[in-house]
Each structure stands twice: as structure tokens, then as C-alpha cells.
Amino acid sequence: MHIPAMPSPALYGWIMAKRVIAVAAVLAAMGMGVAVRAADGGGPVPDGKVHKFELKDQQFWIDGAPLRLMAGEIHPGRVPFEFWEDRVKKIKAMGLNTVSVYIFWNQIEPREGEFVFEGETDVRRFVKLCQENGLWVVLRVGTYVCAEWEFGGYPAWMLKYHDMKLRSDDPKFLGYCQKYVDAVGKQLADLQVNHGGPILMTQFENEYGRIDPYLYKLKDIFVKGGFDGQLMTCDHSGGVWNTEKGIPGVLRGYNGLKQQTAGRIEDARRVNHGMPMFSPEVYTGWFALWGGVEKPVSEEQQVSDTQWLLDQKNVSWAYYVVDGGTNFGYWSGSNAGRPMQTTYDYAAPIDEMGRVTPKYRALREVFEKDLHLDLPPVPADPKVIEVPAFSLKSAGTVVERLPSTGISTENVESMEDVGEGYGFIVYRKKFEKGVKGKLVLPVVRDYAWVMVNGEVVGEGMTSPPPRGAKGDAALTERVSAEVDQAGACEVEILVHNLGRTSSPFDQGRSRKGMIENPTLDGKTLTGWEIVPLPLEHGDEGLRAASGNGAAKGPGFWSGTFNVSEVGETYLDLSKWHFGVVWVNGHNLGRFWDVGSSRALYLPSVWEKAGANEITVLELGTPPAEAEVKGVAKMVETKVKPFAPYWVKGEKKGMRHVAGQGDEGGGVQ
């Protein structure tokens, strides 16, 4: 491949169109990871050698040549690691020169002091793949990331420390930050461009919105952890962002740049001490909440925005996202108590299965024609299969399969206080002489089922009230049920953690499970047994089912399906109500009939030729025909909107109230 030489200064004087000037700047230094012909006779790519990366004169420079970053964001934690190389090659073939990468603290340190760098957290392998394919990297470490990810990336175990304040200069919190950054630094610090790697910049905070001592201390933590190259943060505009200058030497990116926000380019330059304009998040779509729908950016709009960006002098950006992936397991977060759907497809150029979309091809054409790039062929789309409908059989209720003993405690405790991070938790109490009256769960998060002897008598989803809400807004956290059972019986309360807020400004509201003791006709109930129920890999570790027929109440369903050859597929769950699915022990995530997406993505690498085991936890009423099938595309149905919280003192009921109560959810 050959990139034409940069036009001479004389030719520059003749070419006045700012579009051509912008293109020339790109031609001088991007090159999609292969040799670049620039004015000085050559241009660097990540090749294992040290390169000089600078930010001056409102633009990026690499070894003295101007560089425009045109990046695509992808999250390794949302894509099976076996597919990483395919995705990286597709990013390169689209015409981009940089990969932007969020990594998630809670995946890397799932238990306090235990750092894991393998599989989806083998971040060093991912960055090396980018380097091997001639792509620069913008590394977004966090420590807080948002990303609609569970707890914004913070580990759930941090919530057991009630006196520790997250995202602040609390010494205890900063101590944990230092340990995490040190661990990541050992994996990646030597892959910074100033050490011979592809990492141009490292982000150490996200959408914090102000400059204070915490930000300075966090910056020092990254430097101490080995990140001695270019550091950055990012924000949306608004508040002090437009007027308050950032930390000297630290780039401050602006999220959400598009044609309608053109004036903010100068805002960014004003607060950035003469540094370049970089937008880490130029959106390709938007996330989908349960009860809400995705708001994709159309192909035509994306192309128009991209052509506009190319017209802007010294403006760099990253598409958020180029490949969204999937919130497998329990990793989806929430926005002000409204949980995210499992899919994170995001209307991205590369879809959830790894297929290139018309948007991808349209953008590739822009880069190929406007920048005269000779791009590599696009890697083939993956093989997609369909699976004929197969039946599942009841495998017992949750209650009947619980362990016989749990944690005895006088008062209920949160999920985090008993050492559990994700999934479900059960609170149970025996009543020797029966139970009758109104049972109220004053504060419970998120979805609770009240059962007596395993039979559901009440259920409901709760949510922390919007920030600053008063009065009746507190009722959003209540679930109640009328109970009336004579003789010895047991009350069981099953609680499902639907994802902690992705904007954790108040960690107290992020604790899951039962937060306060239930009451019966106003009298506080004490003396409970707690059974943590993480269900990481399905129903393993639980007691065997009784075999007494179809489950009543939340229960498991199991079966087997056969494939002659593995391939990508969506499991159609449109007949089912609400629950979780595991295939061969892999947690595919949640399904729920209030969402627009009614199927779950099953990656081929989690299948095997021949028999595959599937377990479905149905938390509501199972379908008349307990069947599942594999289909070639996402099953989408009309949303059942809801907003399970109070807004401005008025109960909105089962109606989606867009934007109300959002905390840092982003700006389109």
C-alpha cells in the first residue's frame, strides 16, 4: 500500500478548501498502521519502537508530524476474547487509525486484592493485538468509567466499607485506586508510546465535571503506577467545564461532539491550555434501558457528521462505539434505578455478533475516497446459525432448591455486607403459628418476590428516588404484600440485583438486597436467615429438584439442544417473561418482556458441536410451551414502558419518563 506524499508548501498555498487541508493533515500521519509517506519522508506507526508523541499548537504530533486521531471505541469486557483479533482487524479495515479502550475495574479485581488478567481481562493481549495490526490506542482505565456498566466499573465489594467515600480524596478510597492502577500499570505501562508501545494517552477519570483536589491526587496515582506518558480526562460541556481550565499537561476531552455542538470546539480549546480538540465519544447510537428503546444515529447522519468532522481543523475523535458488544452475565448497569438491557449493540458499525453493517461500509467509503486510503479487505462476517425450537423441562423452584442452611442474623443485611456482589439473594423467616397482615419491605433493591412456602403473594421493582427527591418519593423503595397463612410456615423474599447505577455519586443507594427490616402491620420483623444466591454458572450447587411437576413461582427450566456446527445465534425468548439464561455454564444475561430486545446473543465460542446444555431461570409465569429456538437476528417487539420511581412528587405509574432522574447518563 502507498499513501501519497504530503503536498508541498506551495501546493498548500494553492489549495484553499479547508476540507483538503484537513485531509492533508490526515495523510501526513495516519496511514492505518502501515508506512506513511509524509513531508519528511516517512511517518511512524506502532512498531515496538519509541516515538515522540506531543500535544502542541492545538494538535497532536508524532515524531514531528501532525496526527489526527480517528478512533473506534470497543470494550474487551463486552466481547469474548476469542473474537478480539477479528474486531481489531475490522476496525483497521474501516479506515480508523486508533482504538479507544475502556477497561473495567470490577472485572479485573472481582474480589478485594485478587487481580485477574486473563480471558476478557487480558488487557495486555488486547493492546498488543492493536499494535500488531498497526493501530494506536487510547487507554481509558477509569478508575470510574460509566459506560452503562455495572457500578460504573467500581467493584461491588467496595460497598461493604460504609465509611469510605467513592470518587473522592478519601485516603482509603485512593488507596484502593493506587493498588488497582499499580496492577494495571504492571500490565500496560511499558506499552505507552514513550516506551515503544501503541498507547498514546491514558484516561484516569470520566465525566467528573469539575477540577478539585481529588482529580489532582488521582493523576498522581497514575503517574506513580507507571503511566508517565500523556494523561487525559473527559467531560460533557456544561457547568464549570466551559470556563474552568483543566490540569496543566492533562488533555481534557469533550464527549458528544457533533455538528450541532460545533461551538464547543473553541470551548475545548480554551480550557485545554492550547492542546488539541479530542472528542472521546462521538456517538453511533445510544443505550437501551428496560422499558426504553435504543436511539440509533442513522447511517446518513453518521456519514454527514463524519464529513463535518473531517472539515474541522485539528479535531480528533473516537466513535462511541465502533463495536458495542454485550452485557453478558450481570454486568449491565442502570441509570437512576432504570436498568440497562443485556444487548449493547448501540447501532454500532460492527454489530453485536461481529457483522459489519451498512453504517460500517458507508463510513469505510468516506475514509477510502475522501482520504485516498488503500484499505485492507474487510474480514468476513461470522457464520450465523439457526437452531430449531427445542423444549425445556421444569427443574424445580428456587425455594425448594435452596441450601438448607444460610447466614443467621438478627437484622437483614445487604448483599454486599454478606460478601456477595451480583445475582440474587434470599431472606427467609419461619413463623411457627402462621402469619397474617400487611408485609412491607421498606427499602429493598431491586426486584423482590414475596413468597409464603414458596408461593408468590407479592412482587415489585423498586428504585432509589431521584437525587433531591423528598416526601412521597421515598416510597419508590417499598414493596408490600398481604399475607395470610395459618399454621407453621416460612416467608421467603427473593431479591434480584438488576445492576448498580453507572453513575455512583452516592454509594449508599447502590447497595443491593434488603436494606431495612421488613414490617408486619407496622411491627419490625427480626430474626432472619440469609442465603446468597449468585448463580454465576446456572443452578449448580443447589439442591436437586423434587420432581413434583411444573414449578410454581420463580423456577429453573433445563434442556439440551444440538448443533452440527457452531455459529453465532440469538436465542429467541419472546415467549418467556423475565429471567436469566445459561448455556454450557456461560451466563448470557437477562431477558425481560418489558424490553425492546427479546433475544439473547449466544457466541459460537460458548457452543460445542453436538449437545449443548441450557438452563433458564424464569422469575415469572413460564410460557404454555416452554420452548427456545436460535434465530439469525435480534427479536424486537414493542416496548412496555415503565418508570419505577416518582417524579416531582407525582407517581407516573407504568410510563417511561425519558431523562427524569438521570445521573450522568450522557448527552446526545
CA–CA separation, 70 and 318 (whole Å): 6
Q: Decide: 662 and 335 in contact? Cβ < 8 Å.
A: yes
Beta carbons within 8 Å of 10's beta carbon, 6+ residues apart: none
Q: 23 is written with which cell numbers?
A: 485531509
Residue closest to 416 by CA, chosen among 509, 332, 327, 505: 509
Q: 64 is written with which cell numbers?
A: 514531528
- Bridge pairing between strands 98-102 and 70-74: parallel
3-state secondary structure 545-569: CCCCCCCCCCEEEEEEEEECCCCEE
User: Catalytic site residues?
Assistant: 207, 281
CA–CA separation, 178 and 171 (whole Å): 10
- The DSSP letter of residue 234 is E
H or E element in which residue 173 lies: helix 171-188
Query: Helix %, strand %, coil % for the chain, to 5?
Result: 25, 30, 45
What Cα–Cα distance (Å) separates residue 115 from each residue in 100, 109, 120, 176, 616? 22, 5, 13, 12, 31
H or E element in which residue 251 lies: strand 251-254
Residue closest to 72 by CA, chosen among 133, 18, 120: 133
Up-side HSE of residue 389: CA atoms within 13 Å toward CB?
7
Torsions phi, psi for 492 (to 5 deg): -120, 135
Beta carbons within 8 Å of 662's beta carbon, 6+ residues apart: 335, 336
Q: What distance lies between CA 301 and its chain's CA centroid?
A: 24
Strands of the sheet with 627-631, listed across from one edge: 387-391, 627-631, 569-572, 599-602
CA–CA separation, 472 and 491 (whole Å): 28
At 307, the amino acid letter reads Q
